[in-house]
Chains A and B, each alone.
Chain A
Amino acid sequence: MTHAFYVYTSYGFAALVTIAVTLWTWADGRARSRELAALEAAGIRRRSAHPRDNSSDNAKDGE
């Protein structure tokens, strides 16, 4: 292939950027959903959230 260096460097850099952005977005999503789960586990939930099972939640929280 002529100019192989330029072609492969272009595709290599494209792969690097797209994979890095994808991994960053994915890792951010994972970290946030874990944080939300941790807050939920600590009993901190949104006021507007509909608890799936109100009675058992209240019993657990001792309210």
Chain B
Amino acid sequence: MSETSLAISKFSDLANPTRFLALAARVIPWLAGITALCFLVGLYLSFTTEGDYQQGETVRIMYVHVPSAWLAMMCYTIMSVSAIGTLVWRHPLADVSAKAAAPLGAAFTLLALVTGSLWGKPMWGTWWVWDARLTSVFILFLMYLGLIALSRAIDDPSKAARITAVLILVGFVNIPIIKFSVEWWNTLHQSASVLRLDGPAIDPEFLRPLFIMAIAFTLLFFTLHIMAMRNEIWRRRIAAQRRLAARMASREE
């Protein structure tokens, strides 16, 4: 077997839900442990590093606001890749992945919006403005809620998967809009200060806790995502077994 076909067969091994469950059972405790450890270090650094000379202590809000905003966009990107997996390859886990990710994405988007508001009040003098960045993130939040409602409103899982996947891909247009909104339009929100071509514009004193907290939040997301995917696979198996039992029972009558 050539190396490529070996790699492909390993990838398709993962498409087998039973293999995925076995892998999840092995990986979840490790991921959860490393997540907790990263949060311990991250929170310690968040409250022991210095405040900003202008923003004072409110700079600490950044260590929860920025990672949750990153996750809000990353989660939607993962859902879009899953949607392609559903529509193009009919990958059996792609739809499970998109469905499991949506509530997590909604939670982290809400967190980004609320912490942003709590940071905006003391620094901008307002809880909320309808400017490009804030509005586009609010639309992202509404889209998550819509996708959750849509995928749960249709009983047939494969039909729900296809319709939701199309809507996810349509909604992906919002992600670059969120990312570049601060450059394309005038907004109260600052422009990118970490991922820039000329390097981060933030002092290392703030970058260290931000980096650790970003890793902690990302690991938390993947832990929860794998757990939620496992739950969804179980939920579908239960439904299938119930149907089978009902068929068997009606045959016996």
A is bound by B? yes
Give A contacts to B, CB under 8 Å: 1-4, 6-7, 9-11, 13-14, 17-18, 20-22, 25-26, 28-29, 32-33, 35-36, 39, 42, 44-48
> What B residues does A36 contact at CB under 8 A?
234, 237-238, 241
Q: Are A26 and B227 in contact (CB under 8 A)?
A: yes
**Interface of chain A: mostly helix, strand, loop or mixed:** helix
Q: Report the separation of the CA atoms of residues A7 and B238 in the bound assembly, to the nearest whole angstrom.
A: 44
Q: Are B61 and A2 in contact (CB under 8 A)?
A: no
**B7-23 interface (Cβ within 8 A of A):** 18
**Interface of chain B: mostly helix, strand, loop or mixed:** helix
**How many chain B residues touch the partner (CB < 8 A)?**
37
Q: Report the separation of the CA atoms of residues A42 and B238 in the bound assembly, to the nearest whole angstrom.
A: 13
Give B contacts to A, CB under 8 Å: 18, 51, 56-58, 60-61, 64-65, 68, 103-104, 107-108, 110-111, 114-115, 118-119, 121-122, 220, 224, 227-228, 230-231, 234-235, 237-238, 240-242, 244-245
Q: Report the separation of the CA atoms of residues A14 and B61 in the bound assembly, to the nearest whole angstrom.
A: 10
> What B residues does A45 contact at CB under 8 A?
241
Q: Are A21 and B224 in contact (CB under 8 A)?
A: yes
Q: Are B234 and A14 in contact (CB under 8 A)?
A: no
> What A residues does B228 contact at CB under 8 A?
25, 28
> What B residues does A33 contact at CB under 8 A?
234
Partner of B61, one of A6, A17, A21, A48: A6
> What B residues does A29 contact at CB under 8 A?
227, 230-231, 234
B242 to chain A, nearest CB (A): 8
The closest CB in chain A to the CB of B18 belongs to A48
Q: Report the separation of the CA atoms of residues A49 and B68 in the bound assembly, to the nearest whole angstrom.
A: 40
Q: Report the separation of the CA atoms of residues A9 and B235 in the bound assembly, to the nearest whole angstrom.
A: 36
